[in-house]
Structure 1
Amino acid sequence: MQESPQQAIERYLRSGEHDAHFRPWPGDDYIAQARYGSVALRHALISTVRHRTAHAELPAALPELDVVAFTRGKVGPMVRGLFPVHEQDSVLDVLGRSVVFLTPATIDAVLEQTPWLSTAWDLANLYLAGVGTELLADDAPNLLGLSEGTTCYLSAEYFGAPGRFDDFLVHEAAHIFHNCKRRTIGLRETRRREWLLEIEFAKRETFAYACETYSRIHDFGQGLRARQTLLAEYAQGPMPADDRLDVDEYLDILREAVAARNGWKRILARCSPSQGG
């Protein structure tokens, strides 16, 4: 039996799933049904999020934050370590504009404009978690950030991250390197260099986690001994709860990075595709 529009809305709100053909919705053809259904599902999502966050409070740091300057400061060491001097400004410009903090001022537009309904549902839960509100489903993904294309979405929870080695902004920004083509930002592209950085598909999360943790070690530790001490502290755990991550390999990459003159390049080398691949 065909589900009704109301049933379709209820299913989407509790699971993020919807009929890919938008059959519950009126319209003379697929395009009309998809347009009608997408608007209805997004409006229902926005309404539900507004209701659950009517009294949400944000960290004091957010309202006055210069997000572009803040982001450039966070990702600057990573960009300078991974790119030649003549490319750094272009990459920093992209990353500086990449971060969107999910707040009451931004969430409606984000949920309306993000291309995929499934991503909108994930972002709604990211926002709800960030303001300490009930998620849309018990099994909703427990996200700390989310990147899509050249945009990194972060919740207000970023400013209350409990771990001294956590930096979700750097983690999500690192994913942009394999999501953005070089020609998109005016950089020279070759047959072997199509993306900002060539990262092996299976090691994308390893790369992002390694960049995140190394950025904190790099910030806290001045000199080899201090950074080795910080890594030893970090290695005592807990490790990221992510089954895409080989913890032994991850820690080995960090050891190489800490010992190297340019640790960022060591991380990249360990996560790049093999030359014969």
Structure 2
Amino acid sequence: MKDALVAEVNSLASRPPPPTPIAEVDLTDRTRRKVEPMVRGLFPRGEREAVLGVLARSVPATVGDVVRQARWLGTAWRLANLYLRSIGARPVGPDAPDLVGISEETTCWVSSEYFRANGRFEDFVVHEAPHVFHNCKRRTAGLPETRRREWLPDIAFGKRETFADASEAYARIVELGETRAARLALVEELAARVAPVGRARRR
């Protein structure tokens, strides 16, 4: 099934004009810098480097080449459509979701849309990175684990999307505001917006 999906992706991807070129970036370094404010806020100093190492390596450079690596067929299908939409190609099937990022276990994938201009409070990588926590035990990051401290961190299932939204908003506020006053103004600006921050509407 995955081979057939890859063949269809390759066929659809060959039809549209090439997407606008994107400047080359060190994705590991960029991911690390993006998630660092969130990690500093959640973890004690002695654990931050281990957690940053896991998250920095969680975003592959491309999505087009990793469809076969997805553990679940449903993830492979969503990943294929994420890639096709990111290059302006027709998705696989009329009911394909409009996504800019997905995550599975300790890996996240983001659309190339992330590297183009986005909303003031949007950061697809930071939104997806917290979902790694739901599938990553402390020992995976090389940290001590007990019966009561098993996950990185343990977020209630019904609050996971809210947690991702909050992490995304926090990271953008820290990045955009250099002073406490500037950050408080950004919080007020975000609160005044009608549409919620995050990708819940697009997942």
Shorter-chain TM-score above 0.5: yes
Aligned mates of 1:79, 1:59 — CA distance in 2: 31
Tell me the residue number matched to 1:237.
194
Identity between Structure 1 and Structure 2 (%): 53
Aligned mates of 2:174, 2:21 — CA distance in 1: 26
* 1:237 Cα deviation from its structure 2 partner: 2.9
Tell me the residue number matched to 1:60.
22
Q: What TM-score does the superposition give when structure 1 sets the normalisation length?
A: 0.67
Q: What TM-score does the superposition give when structure 2 sets the normalisation length?
A: 0.90
Aligned mates of 2:200, 2:57 — CA distance in 1: 28
* 1:58 Cα deviation from its structure 2 partner: 5.0
Tell me the residue number matched to 1:69.
29
On the 8 A contact 2:35/2:55 being kept in 1, the answer is yes
Residue of structure 1 aligned with 2:90, choices 134, 139, 148: 134
**Equivalent runs, 1:127-206 vs 2, <5 Å:** 127-206=83-162
* 1:238 Cα deviation from its structure 2 partner: 2.0
Number of aligned residue pairs: 198
1:90 counterpart = 2:50 = yes
- Partner SS for 1:147: strand
Tell me the residue number matched to 2:10.
50
- Partner SS for 1:152: strand
* 1:163 Cα deviation from its structure 2 partner: 0.7
Give 2:55's aligned amino acid: L
On the 8 A contact 2:29/2:56 being kept in 1, the answer is yes
Tell me the residue number matched to 2:41.
81
Report runs of 4+ in structure 1 exceeding 4 Å deviation: none
On the 8 A contact 1:101/1:155 being kept in 2, the answer is no
Aligned mates of 1:94, 1:58 — CA distance in 2: 30
On the 8 A contact 1:166/1:212 being kept in 2, the answer is yes
Q: Superposition RMSD on alpha carbons, in Å?
A: 1.9
- Select the structure of larger CA radius of gyration: 1
Greater relative CO, 1 or 2 (CA 8 Å, sep 6+)? 2
* 1:121 Cα deviation from its structure 2 partner: 0.5
Q: 1:133 to 1:70 in 2, by over 3 A?
A: same
Aligned mates of 1:127, 1:206 — CA distance in 2: 25
Aligned mates of 1:185, 1:203 — CA distance in 2: 23
Give 2:42's aligned amino acid: L
